[in-house]
Every structure is written in C-alpha cells, then in structure tokens.
Amino acid sequence: MPRLHPTNTPVRPIETTSIAATDSLPSLQVNYVKGIPGELLAMPATLAVIGFGETHQDPQDPRFVRVGLEPIESGWFEVWRCAEPVTCGRQDALRWSSDGHYLFFAVEIDESEAGDIDAAAEQAYAAICRLIAGHRFADGALGHILRLWNYLDAINEGEGDNERYRHFCSGRAHGLNPSARNGYSAATAIGCRNGRRVLQVYGLAARKEGVAVENPRQVSAWSYPRQYGPVAPTFARATRTPAGQLLVSGTASVVGHQSQHAGDTLAQLDETLRNLDSLLAAAGPRIASRGIDAILLKIYLREPAEAKAVEQHLRQRLPGQVGLLILLGDICRSDLRIEIDGIQG
C-alpha cells in the first residue's frame, strides 16, 4: 500500500467566539465527573467531554470523545470547561470546539480504509495540521498545539521495527507539519484491547504558545537511540501552558532512555513518581511547589488484578490527590506495566 501524504487542499477558516485579546489565557478547568454525557455537555462553557470504555448510546456532539480503554470503575467522564461560550463543528474527519482561547479537536481514522497504522497516523496528523493552519482565533492568532492523546489497538504487536507503535511513530512524523505543530508538545500513546483497528487522536491547542518541559532524569524522546525504532517519538515530556498549567505527557519507569524494574509494577510506579517530581521541578518553582497531589492523574495499567494495589499505593503516597482514574491499557514498551499522565490545574 503506498504511503499517504498530506494534501494541499485549502482549509476553510473556522469562526470562533469573538473575545477581547489578553496577554495570558484563562485556566482550563478539568475534572473527573460522574454523570450523563448529554447533561455534562449542556453545562455552560463545556469544551469537551471524554468517556471511557464501551457504550452504544453516545451523543453525536463534536465535543464528545469515547476512548477505547476500559476503566476500573465505570461511569466517570473527564470534563473540560473554559471561560467563554463554546462553538463547535466538523471539518472532514475532524471534530472541533473552541471558546476563542482554546481549541479542542478529535479525529478517528479506520486503519483498513487508510491502509495500515502508518498511513492512519499520517492521515490523522495531516488533518490536524490542516485544521491548525486554517484556524484563526478571535484576535487573529494562529493556533499552537499544547497536548495530544493517541490510542491505537495492539500497540505492542509485531517484533522489532515491525511493532505497531514504531509504525505509528513513523506515520505521525510524516503527517506532522513543523509550521503547524510549533515544536513538540506533550503527548500520550497507549494501546487499546478492543480489536478495533481505529486510531483515535484528540488534543488541545491555544491561541498562545506553551513551553515544552523536559525531564533531567530522562533522555528527550526525540533523541532516543536507534534501538527504539527508525523514527524517534516526537513529543515533549510536558507542556507549560500560557495559563500556568502543566500538561504532563505519558510518564513511565524510564531513566535515561532505559526501562527500569521489569516485572515489578509497584517499583515501576515509584520510579514513575520520581520522574514526575523531577519533571515538576524542571517546570518551575510555582508548579513544583504544588506537587503531584495537584495533578489530575490518569493511570494506564496492563494488569487489572493490580489495580487495587496501585490505587492504595498512590493514596498512601499522595494523600491530597485531587483525582485519579485507572484505565486498562498497554504501554508503548512491552516491558513497562504502568504509565501516568495528567493535568495540573
């Protein structure tokens, strides 16, 4: 199957709510909430609602995404709310919403229609770059990508360079337009187990650029040696937003570029928490002073039988934790058993 390449199709400008430009952005409010999707979407200034696991009665609202990962406890939704009224719509395969400060976007690409995971990733990222390039915020500013989430089936399937995650990295790199992405942003890539070969990508952009943050304990992902694949992963360890929030990438038990504590989930969890502490320190004193407790955590876990022990360990280590959600999924390296990402408000 020949590789798909980004097209030069003109992009229709998206009109967003007219607001006065300011030097900084208002904070994005993110919470885990139990409720009914339609009622959550009806709340004022809701930018996005993200569900987890399988269902058959989801709203067709462009602001709603359901991630194909099963939660340990059902009924929770991740709700993003902003400061201004929200408009939303669709652009080809993409869905979007905006309050004039932030832009939420989501796309799903069927691998069988695209050809393979490489082509699906390239197609998804080319579409995102076209959206960003054609979007104008109310003050005329172009969008800047702050954060991306990627979910694909069977992420560890295949040996060596034939692993699906490595093919995904290759396709993503080909689809990214440097002028649209404005440098590397925070990101997560996790494997689903639902057998649906549909790549899900959603993300957040803003009218002002964020600041990439790297972890001194880890080699930057784009500098990984060749042993991890022909194309290095293209993401930053975190993004500090213009509102002063920290968007934390998927973080695991990796020191330098090597995985640690193979086969020991709780030891990997402790190493991951050390990485998060180091990342917060690198993000600056204001963010570091608030600590991991102030991060709304999403935990990706391979083994459901370990969920109770992981949660107890986190509750003991982080007694003031503002919220955590445990999802069953596969980490991008087969020797890693747990990964954590999150948003510090």
Q: What is the pLDDT of residues 76-113, one digit of tens each?
A: 999 999 999 999 999 989 999 999 999 999 999 999 99
pLDDT value at residue 142: 85
pLDDT value at residue 102: 96
Confidence band, pLDDT 50/70/90 cuts, at residue 136: confident
- Region 252-261: mean pLDDT is 98
Quick one: what percent of the chain has pLDDT higher than 70? 92
pLDDT value at residue 4: 30
Question: What are the DSSP E strand ranges found in 16-133?
Answer: 29-34, 46-52, 64-67, 70-71, 76-81, 87-91, 94-98, 102-110
pLDDT value at residue 9: 29
Give the C-alpha separation, 30 to 276, whole Å.
Answer: 19
Confidence band, pLDDT 50/70/90 cuts, at residue 7: very low
Residue 42 makes CB contacts below 8 A (sequence gap 6+) with none
Give the C-alpha separation, 210 to 101, whole Å.
Answer: 13
What average pLDDT does the chain have? 91
pLDDT value at residue 23: 56
pLDDT value at residue 139: 80
User: Which residue in this structure is represented by tokens 């991306």?
Assistant: 148
Reply yes or no on whether the pLDDT at 214 is more than 60. Answer: yes
Reply yes or no on whether the pLDDT at 182 is more than 80. Answer: no
* The domain made up of 29-344 is a member of CATH 1.10.3720.10: no
pLDDT value at residue 55: 77
For 241, the token pair is: 């937003």
- Region 253-257: mean pLDDT is 98
Per-residue burial over 252-266, b = 16 or more CB atoms within 10 Å of its CB, e = otherwise = bbbbeeebbbeeebe
pLDDT value at residue 148: 97
Reduced DSSP (H G I as helix, E B as strand, rest coil) percent helix, strand, coil of the chain, to 5? 25, 30, 40
- Region 329-344: mean pLDDT is 97
- Region 121-126: mean pLDDT is 97
For 207, the token pair is: 């009218």
Residue 22 makes CB contacts below 8 A (sequence gap 6+) with none
pLDDT value at residue 16: 35
pLDDT value at residue 80: 98
For 216, the token pair is: 């001194």
Give the C-alpha separation, 235 to 51, whole Å.
Answer: 24
Looking at the DSSP assignment, which residues form a beta bridge with residue 180?
A: none
pLDDT value at residue 54: 85
Reply yes or no on whether the pLDDT at 344 is more than 70. Answer: yes
Confidence band, pLDDT 50/70/90 cuts, at residue 135: confident
pLDDT value at residue 57: 84
For 151, the token pair is: 């979910």
Reply yes or no on whether the pLDDT at 156 is more than 90. Answer: yes
280 contacts 287 by C-beta, under 8 angstroms: yes
Find the range with the poorest average confidence among 5-9, 99-103, 274-278. Answer: 5-9
Reply yes or no on whether the pLDDT at 164 is more than 50. Answer: yes
Quick one: what percent of the chain has pLDDT higher than 90? 84
Looking at the DSSP assignment, which residues form a beta bridge with residue 192?
A: 153
Nearest to 80 by CA among 31, 124, 114: 31
Looking at the DSSP assignment, which residues form a beta bridge with residue 251?
A: 340
- Region 116-144: mean pLDDT is 91
pLDDT value at residue 56: 73
For 121, the token pair is: 């990733």
Question: Coil, helix or strand for 98?
Answer: strand
